[in-house]
Chains A and B, each alone.
Chain A
Amino acid sequence: GQQLNQSPQSMFIQEGEDVSMNCTSSSIFNTWLWYKQDPGEGPVLLIALYKAGELTSNGRLTAQFGITRKDSFLNISASIPSDVGIYFCAGQLLPQGGSEKLVFGKGTKLTVNP
């Protein structure tokens, strides 16, 4: 089955630093999604990418859908304490039958020291 390799597993940074995390796969995806999860809450969608090469920003967040459709990265600029959480990438295939299942990375746990 499809697998996503998300790295790094965890990051400890100082407030104000930039952050970069990425996901790679041996499979080709039609959609890449990035989520953030705060403790005890459901993941919240940050950025959705639908086309190869697409670069999308959402405030201090920037994500790109790789040209090969097998990878994506998420950058956070000028980190702040509320950026703390677990970030998940997810790739979506549209197999025949129309079930849009997601394949998730294992997450990147971000800690920001004030």
Chain B
Amino acid sequence: SQTIHQWPATLVQPVGSPLSLECTVEGTSNPNLYWYRQAAGRGLQLLFYSVGIGQISSEVPQNLSASRPQDRQFILSSKKLLLSDSGFYLCAGTNLFGNTIYFGEGSWLTVV
């Protein structure tokens, strides 16, 4: 069965520092991959999605970027974090049939 792993689980970073959150997928191939942000435990905001290696689409203008160096690897990055980047980040990916989306465990980012 498909599983999605993301790390680190929690991160405390100073303003202006870089960020790298990593997500890997097991149990499927050629998934569509997504990064969501969730604030205050409610509402999921789609940040980026990718339909293949090197293909990234951004949903909202922001201080973050995403990359997909391998089929089952998706990375969320920032060169300089802002306080407003704090939140709960979720990686998600489609299953083998492309008709269901599964989530990773989430990563808490606190920018101080």
A residues lining the B interface (CB < 8 Å): 31, 33, 35, 39-45, 48, 50, 86, 88, 90, 92, 98-102, 104, 106-107, 109
Are A40 and B44 CB-contacts (below 8 A) given A48-B99, A92-B99? no
A99→B49 CA distance, assembly (Å): 8
Complex: chain B residue closest to A31, CB-CB:
B99
A40 with B51: CB separation less than 8 A? no
B90 with A101: CB separation less than 8 A? no
A44→B43 CA distance, assembly (Å): 15
Complex: chain A residue closest to B32, CB-CB:
A100
B44 with A104: CB separation less than 8 A? yes
B42 with A100: CB separation less than 8 A? no
A27→B57 CA distance, assembly (Å): 23
Q: Please report the total number of B residues contacting A with Cβ < 8 Å.
A: 24
Closest Cβ–Cβ distance, residue A107 to chain B (whole Å)? 5
B residues lining the A interface (CB < 8 Å): 4, 32, 34, 41-44, 46, 49, 51, 57, 88, 90, 94, 98-106, 108
Q: Give every chain B residue within 8 A of A99 (Cβ-Cβ).
A: 32, 49, 51, 57
Closest Cβ–Cβ distance, residue B102 to chain A (whole Å)? 6
Q: Which residue of the partner chain, among A31, A35, A40, A104, contacts B43 with CB atoms under 8 Å? A: A104
Complex: chain A residue closest to B98, CB-CB:
A100
A45 with B43: CB separation less than 8 A? no
Q: Give the one of A35, A98, A102, A104 with max B CB within 10 A.
A: A102
Complex: chain A residue closest to B106, CB-CB:
A42
A48 with B90: CB separation less than 8 A? no
Q: Which residue of the partner chain, among B41, B99, B102, contacts A86 with CB atoms under 8 Å? A: B41
Q: Give every chain B residue within 8 A of A92 (Cβ-Cβ).
A: 99, 101
Complex: chain A residue closest to B89, CB-CB:
A42
B101 with A102: CB separation less than 8 A? yes
- A92-B101, A107-B43 given; 17 more Cβ-contact pairs under 8 Å: A31-B100, A33-B101, A40-B108, A42-B4, A42-B90, A42-B104, A43-B44, A43-B90, A45-B100, A45-B102, A45-B103, A48-B99, A92-B99, A100-B101, A101-B46, A102-B46, A102-B101
A43→B105 CA distance, assembly (Å): 8
